[in-house]
Amino acid sequence: MAINYPAGTRRTSATANQVRIGKTTKKALTFGRRGMGLEEEINLANTYYLANQLAVIHKKPTPITIVKVDYPARSAAKITEAYFKQASTTDYNGVYQGRYIDFDAKETKNKTSFPLKNFHEHQIAHLAHVLAQNGIGFVIIKFTTRDETFVYPAKHLIKQWQLRQGKQSIPYLEIARDSFRVPNSLNPSLDYLKAVDQYFQQLD
């Protein structure tokens, strides 16, 4: 399996050695990411993109409803009662090469399909709004047991959602067919903008 280096990656001799091992590289990569969730991988990629001036993409804070706040003397305001509330948008957005980028990230242990119940109606509606404004909308879908991650354009997700009325699952093969696969990489471990680049090429 080919290793794609992101442009501008500073390779340490350690990682260069790792690559030379050849056959064991995939295993080493998987080991390196062990226990790291998809969200954490995306956050690390975003930090890398920001530091290297490749893109400005942030995860939005978790929306909560604050009910009670204490203001103790001489210390920081303390929230003592608050509740999680439903997000009205996706989790990530930002700008890449002058384009508006908007996406959510989901992972599944399923091998053959992706359950649509992972999405909420309002997320689908938000992505449709983004497309209507000529923004770039997609979801990053990771099949954890396959260790495969895809950039799946929102237009396909919206079509599937309508077709299956928000229920059932999208077959793995259809996602693989309509997506841009995130190539393996070392730093960042999930270089998803590489897949977005391919998407852009198709759009231009």
Taking CB under 8 A as the criterion, the residue among 16, 36, 66, 163 binding a copy of itself is: 66
37 is an interface residue for a copy of itself by CB under 8 A: no
**DSSP string covering 129-140, please?**
HHHHTT-EEEEE
Nearest approach, Cβ of 146 to a copy of itself (angstroms)? 32
Q: Which of 168, 175, 167, 124 is nearest to 148 (CA)?
A: 175
Q: Which of 100, 105, 90 is nearest to 192 (CA)?
A: 105
| Tokens coding 121 | 């109606």
Site string for a copy of itself, 78-117 (x = CB under 8 A): xxxxxxx--xxx---xxxxxxxxxx---------------
What span, in angstroms and rounded, lies between the C-alpha atoms of 49 and 92? 14
Residues at the binding site for Mg(2+) are 89, 91, 104, 123
Residue among 135 and 166 whose Cβ is closer to a copy of itself = 135
53 is an interface residue for a copy of itself by CB under 8 A: yes
Secondary structure percentages of the chain, helix, strand, coil, to 5: 40, 25, 35
Residue among 52 and 108 whose Cβ is closer to a copy of itself = 52
> What distance lies between CA 60 and its chain's CA centroid?
13
Residues that bind a copy of itself (CB under 8 A): 50, 53, 55-56, 58, 60-64, 66, 76-84, 87-89, 93-102, 126, 129-130, 132-135
